[in-house]
Chains A and B, each alone.
Chain A
Amino acid sequence: MLALTRKKGQSIIIGDGIEITVVDIQGDQVRLGIKAPKNIAVHRKEIFIEIQEENRRAANVKANVLNDFFKNNR
């Protein structure tokens, strides 16, 4: 992994059109500003991974379990 040292207000450029700026630093928290083309999705990694895992769990749905539930609750 490439590691670069930046100060508050400084940026890095990635490729053609992605810019990440250190907006603020408070203790162990860094606030980043991200400029990217609209087709580049930007997510907090842990939340994105959680959503990936949740979708994989969701794809295991058993149709009959769901159908029975709604029939029985009417």
Chain B
Amino acid sequence: MKLETKHFGCIDIEEENIICFPEGLPGFEDTRKYVLLGKNDEESPFRWLQCVDRPDVAFAIIDPRLIKPDYVAHIESADIEILDIKEEDKALVYVILVVPEDITKMTANLKAPVIINPFNNMGKQVVLEKGDYGIKHYVFEELRKAGG
């Protein structure tokens, strides 16, 4: 199907690649369908979580271990059940970036990672009860070290 996106123009997406977020995302409760765009390669460490229901909504996301190598998302058993995760280490974990005009003030929300089960394409943004992770974690310096 064709999708008019915010950052990539009109793109072709496969139905089978659509990830379902049954609860939407906090603040975007009415958006249930997303696709992952962008390769996780050397060109750029971030990817996009592009909303299918609302093409104007897209989130820049990144593997939190690029920011904190020891990052652990302890997923609550209720969320494991909702996402039907069989092997926790195979779930995809991303954190959402806030990118202001002054990019040195870029932050990542380590407190509320996006968890995706790649085997059934179910996703949820969870809130971590364990671990001392911030909603506004400044990442500019850490990413510059990791990417440069």
Contacts from A to B (Cβ < 8 Å): 38-39, 41, 43, 47-48, 50-59, 61-63, 65-67, 69-70, 73-74
Contacts and interface: CB of A to CB of B under 8 A. Distances in A.
Interface of B: 6-7, 23, 25-28, 43-46, 48, 57-60, 78, 81-82, 96-99, 101, 103, 106, 109, 111-112, 125, 127, 135-136, 143-144, 147-148
A54 B103 contact: no
Given A38-B78, A47-B127, A61 B28 contact: no
Contacts of A56: 27-28
B60 A73 contact: no
B129 to A, nearest CB: 9
Contacts of B96: 54-55, 58
A62 B43 CA distance: 18
Contacts of B112: 51, 54
Contacts of A61: 58-60, 97-99
Contacts of A66: 44, 46, 60, 97, 99, 103
Nearest to A47: B127
Contacts of A53: 27
B147 A48 contact: no
